[in-house]
Structure 1
Amino acid sequence: MLPYINAPFAYVANALGASTDELKLIFSFLLSYPLAAVLKRIPDRAPWQKNLFIIGVSLFYLIGLFDLWDGIRTLLWSSAGAYAIAAYIDSPFMPWIAFVFIMGHMSINHIQRQIINDPGVVDITGAQMVLVMKLTAFCWNVHDGRLPESELSDFQKERAIRELPGFLDYAGYVLFFPSLFAGPAFDYVDYRHYISTTMFQLPPGTDPSKAPPTRKKRKIPRSGTPASWKAAFGLLWLVAFLQFSGWYYTDFLLGDEYMKYNLFRRIWILHMLGVTTRMKYYAVWTLTEGACILSGIGYNGIDPKTGRAKWDRLQNVRPLAIETAQNTRDYLGNWNINTNHWLRNYVYLRVTPKGKKPGFRASLATFVTSAFWHGFYPGYYMAFVLASLLQTIAKNGRRLLRPFFLTPDGASPTPKKRYYDIFTILVTQLAFSFTVVPFIFLGFANSWLVWLRVYCYCLIGVAICLGCIFSPVKQKLQMQLKKRNRGKIEEVIKEEQEKERVQNAPTLGLPDDPEAEMEEIVAEVKKEMEARKRRGGSVSFDIRKAVEEKLSKR
């Protein structure tokens, strides 16, 4: 640690009653903005200088700011081990060997952190969790680069590494400072395209006049405005967290005062504790995303509708979508987005033999990986098991109940559909307010105590719903639905469901529900058909082709 650097943080921490390390972590997020602006201004023709700058800043964070010498060794062992495995093991099992090594190394640190059990101290596990996603993806990309293109999917072709990077490029990728401590993670190919500026080339056939504006012949587009908005929103979330955490905190729910309120007030406080806890993550992920945008790596091409540059390549969370989620898919799918992508592309689809459909084995492997990646606190596993049951219930509920609030052909909502939407939003939010309790409290005893204090309302609801699913109630609802005319669209749903199952991302280790998305797409196609009828036009277009086009745009 640099001399005297800790003194101002310790002084402010004592005044605010906060943790010194947490203040330094926030400072590193904010400092990444001006440093990202400097990185962006290093000449495009000198990527080695950019790599050195990235490495130097990360070393300052790890050693000069946090004195994490052990952390440096941890990151070195993981990254050097992964590189050596990728370089010297030419085998189909290479990515799995690397996976076991990297995950095993992180598990040791998780256990050590759990033994110390000091949440106010910043250690290396956060950065190592981000690095695990990077390194396991890197080894799979190297493996794909050794295979013929005919054996690869489009995604694998885009990410395949045909030649191992040099040590400087690899170190820059591993230690990319805007996302060092909290993510977001990204693949090496994205970093290579960024550092070489090929990421910013216009697609073939694009009018050069539509290129996003740059400064002084720099290839990286101007990104100060979108980065500033992210910084502003991140700070707003941080201020909101500091304010709300004084009202809703864990000790209050464990104390006697909490039980003086009636059940509905206790459930409201429970819900607001979850919202308050999420605010911290909204703040961190929004701030780090803004620094990535300012550096340029958040660039994601040109929006075909607006003609402006898109900066959502590394978006990791959508707060509004989570807080108003109508189903488990929306809730989990908009949380920790890059982790969901990693689970889908490098676990869920990789454990499935070529030519086979992902099944129970893929789901189980993804679930276990996600759980181990988070750590070994009992709360994680309590939340995962309950969330998996919620997703099963939500999937069946949507299939069995939602069609009754649509017209018989499924094309339009009925007047009562708004009540269904309000009900599902309320149920989803209340269910996850209960489910995330173990994620917040981590320990079994405290989590179970809080559940008991709200009479385990979610567990009772889950038991009732599962009872209905495995009872004649389900068959009766299915018979009612069969009477409703769904036409040729029904055939498209059945044929496309399995294909969509492979393409959809698991959410935090829980396989997604492709049928729900298919029903939404099919409803859109039917609306288009009805619109053509009203205009007096032809409706003899290829339904299957229309559905596939909408799938490709999602």
Structure 2
Amino acid sequence: MNNDDLIYASLLLFSITFGYFIRLFKERELRKWVSTLVGLLLVFVVSGFHIVHPLICTLINALIIVNMDKTTCAKYSFAFQFGYLAFFRTTEYFGIPYPPAHTNLVQMVLTLKLVGLAFEVQDTAVAKAKARDKSEDSDTNIQEVAASVSPGFMDIFHYAFTHVGVLTGPFYTYRTYNDWLHTPFSDHAPCFEETLRKLKWLPLFLSLFLTATYFYPLQYAKSDEFYSERSFWYRLWYTYPSFFIFRMRIYSGLIMSECVCTMAGLGAYPVATAPVAGQGPSKDFALLRQVVSDPEQAKKATYNFETIHNIDPYGSEFIPTLRQSMKSWNICIQYWLAVNVYKRLPRNAFRTTVTLFVSAFWHGIYAGYYLCICTVALYLPVEDLYVKHFTKGLGGMAGKIADFVVWFFRLQALSYMAITFFLLTIHDSFKYWNSIYFCCHVLWAAFYMVGVVAVKARKKSNMEKDKSI
């Protein structure tokens, strides 16, 4: 474990512990200010004078959201924030020292929060306009959205720098943050118990991460020895421990970041409102209002933290298809991408690719991010073809074998793609793929062509049978 990882883990542990104390502040305005001041301190500790970057972004976005036309402000926020993200990662070309790695994490989370807030405000304005054009019994969900998000300048500042998730996320909406401050949910939710439930898996993931890193260091894949003395099969196999290390590291970090939320009580909602990861309550808003206004009902309600549920290791490991397993990984960010990018694009064959490109751009400017994330768009059509026409509907032992085969190829595909995420540069990434002859690209293309031919042959055979009948 390097120094960056130690600092990262230490600050997350501090944030988890501090969550217990922040809940002791029953006066909500005091809780808000204390949380923000601690959040600013955390950002300063990891950033130093580079804290100017998140401060500038928050200032400009606050001005956009507060002063511009609410029905169009999101596109300006999106353009500015992602444009600044590109500048932030190329500051050395402008004679400005490159920010520390942890400041990059702060900036990534801030991008999601500020752009997401602009879309919340925009959706609120659009919903209000629709509600005015309808009868008084307009859709309840529209009324709820219209009433929920109208922050002032300082509200945006507090949301951006509250200590909960300021370093690593998970992403949560402004409404969720506002509910944390102004509802009694955190006072009655099982914050400590939920935190312990999540943390019990941490020793396992950390020990697996440290053990695998010791025996299979990622930097070895960049060494001359790796290419000169290792066989094709060893180089191909090395994608597995590399991807395993990556998963264990991410599981550990995301579980700890979830615990920062659970210990502070942020993201707690009544189970009856069917909270959704990233979004919050999805139904029964009338009950939500009742629980807020009735102390006795608030005490009796059953709560969960699904709103900030960001990683499902079991689903990520064992769901057979890539399309479905992706929904178990960085769940709150998947929600952000779906709501703020994918669903706002025209319905065509390119919106999945555009969404993946935005995800890659958000991660960084290294070619490895794009090669890893955007290559998903090449694999999904192959998987979809075989699942739809050959494995779907199979039961019994045949179904289990089919699921295993799909899972095996999904794991190989992700391992093959993910190694470029570590190698980063286009030179190192293509050097590695070239050393194994781009075998997975070739295999996917071959499988796709064979699958298309087989599907056409099956359709032709079925048509001939129908004619003979």
TM-score, normalised to structure 2, is 0.83
Structure 2 residue 18 is the aligned partner of structure 1 residue 35: yes
State the secondary structure of the residue aligned to 2:428.
helix
Matched-pair contact (CA < 8 Å) for 1:75–1:128: yes
User: Per-residue deviation at 1:181?
Assistant: 1.2
Q: 1:231 aligns with which of 178, 199, 222?
A: 199
Specify the SS of the correspondent of 1:179: coil
> Are residues 1:89 and 2:68 paired?
yes
In structure 2, do the counterparts of structure 1 residues 321 and 428 end up closer, same or farther at CA, with 3 Å as the change threshold? Answer: same
2:254 matches 1:288: no
Q: What per-residue deviation string (whole Å, max 9, x for no partner) do you get for residues 70-103 of structure 1?
A: 22x2112111211211121116432111110111
* 1:254 corresponds to: 222
Q: What is the aligned partner in structure 2 of residue 275 from structure 1?
A: 244
Structure 1 contact 141–156 (Cα < 8 Å) conserved = no
Q: Is the 8 A contact 1:127 1:181 kept in 2?
A: yes
User: Which structure 1 segments of 5+ residues have no match?
Assistant: 1-15, 201-217, 353-357, 407-412, 486-554
RMSD of the alignment, in Å? 3.1
For residue 335 of structure 2, the aligned residue among 341, 363, 367 is 341
AA aligned opposite 2:386: G
Task: Write the mapping of 1:319-468 to structure 2, written as runs, cut at 5 A.
Answer: 319-352=313-346, 358-360=347-349, 362-403=351-392, 406=394, 413-468=395-450
Q: For the residues of structure 1 that align with 2:225 and 2:403, how far apart are their CA atoms?
A: 35
Please identify which structure carries the higher helix content. 2
- Alpha-carbon distance in 2 for matches of 1:336, 1:51: 27
**Alpha-carbon separation, structure 2, partners of 1:333 and 1:113:** 36
Which residue is equivalent to 1:181? 167
Q: 1:148 to 1:333 in 2, by over 3 A?
A: closer
Residue 69 of structure 1 is matched in structure 2 by 49
The CA distance in 2 between the partners of 1:184 and 1:379, in whole Å, is: 23
Q: Does 1:191 find its partner at 2:177?
A: yes
Deviations 1:499-546 (CA, angstroms, capped at 9, x unpaired): xxxxxxxxxxxxxxxxxxxxxxxxxxxxxxxxxxxxxxxxxxxxxxxx
Superimposed CA distance per residue, residues 95-133 of structure 1 (whole angstroms, 9 cap, x where no aligned partner): 1111101111111112238999x9994342211111111
CA contact (8 A) 1:51 1:171 kept: no
Task: Note closer, same or farther for the CA distance 1:66–1:150 as it changes in structure 2 (3 Å cut).
Answer: closer
- Quote the Cα distance in structure 2 between the aligned partners of 1:150 and 1:93: 13
Change (3 A) 1:311 1:421: same
Q: Quick one: which amino acid aligns to residue 388 of structure 2?
A: R
Q: Which has the higher contact order (CA 8 A, sep 6+)?
A: 2
The sequence identity of aligned pairs, in percent, is: 20
Query: Which of 130, 152, 159 is 2:109 aligned to?
Result: 130
Corresponding residue for residue 530 of structure 1: none
Q: Indicate if the aligned counterparts of 2:206 and 2:248 stay in contact, CA closer than 8 A.
A: yes
Q: Secondary structure at the match of 2:187?
A: coil
Give distance in 2, aligned partners of 1:465 and 1:237.
35
Contact persistence 1:379–1:447 (CA under 8 A) = yes
Q: In structure 2, how many angstroms separate the alpha carbons of the residues matched to 1:232 and 1:38? A: 21
Distance 1:292 1:25 in 2: 16
Assess, with a 3 A threshold, how the Cα gap between structure 1 residues 62 and 298 changes in structure 2: closer, same or farther.
same
The aligned counterpart of 1:477 is: 458
What is aligned with 1:25? 8
Q: Deviations over 1:30-80 (max 9, x none)?
A: 01122100011111xx211111111121122122x3352222x21121112
One-letter amino acid matched to 1:172: H
In 1, distance between residues paired with 2:109 and 2:199? 21
Q: Distance in 2 between matches of 1:303 and 1:92?
A: 32
Mean Cα deviation higher: 129-138 or 366-375:
366-375
TM normalised by structure 1 equals: 0.71
> 1:161–1:189: 8 Å Cα contact kept in structure 2?
no
| SS of corresponding position for 2:151 | coil
Q: State whether residues 322 and 334 of structure 1, in contact with CA within 8 Å, keep that contact through their aligned partners in structure 2.
A: yes
1:263–1:144 Cα change, 3 Å: same
Shift of 1:164: 3.0
In structure 2, the CA distance between the partners of 1:237 and 1:160, relative to structure 1 (3 Å rule), is: farther
The separation in 2 between residues aligned to 1:80 and 1:56, in whole angstroms, is 16
C-alpha displacement of 1:145:
1.9
Which residue number corresponds to residue 308 of structure 2?
A: 314
Amino acid at match of 1:415: M
Hey, what does 1:12 align to over in structure 2? Answer: none
8 A Cα contact 1:270 1:433, kept in partner: yes
Work out the CA distance in 1 between the residues paired with 2:315 and 2:211: 22
Return closer, same or farther for 1:89/1:393 CA change in 2, 3 Å cut-off.
Answer: same
Deviation at 1:417, TM superposition (A): 1.6
What is the identity, as a one-letter code, of the residue corresponding to 1:466? Y
Q: CA deviation at 1:304?
A: 9.7
Could you give the per-residue CA deviations for residues 147-171 of structure 1, whole angstroms, max 9, x where no partner exists?
A: 2458489877654466632444333
Counterpart for residue 40 of structure 2: 59
The residue identity in structure 1 corresponding to 2:46 is: F
1:99 equivalent to 2:93? Answer no
Q: How many angstroms apart in 1 are the aligned matches of 2:420 and 2:248?
A: 17
CA distance in 1, matches of 2:349, 2:31: 44
In structure 1, what is the Cα distance between the partners aligned to 2:62 and 2:112? 14
Unmatched 5+ residue regions in structure 2?
132-138, 275-300
- Further displaced range: 378-387 or 131-140: 378-387
The answer on whether the counterparts of 1:179 and 1:185 sit within 8 Å (CA) in structure 2 is yes
Q: CA deviation at 1:430?
A: 0.9
In 2, the alpha carbon distance for the partners of 1:115 and 1:447 equals 27
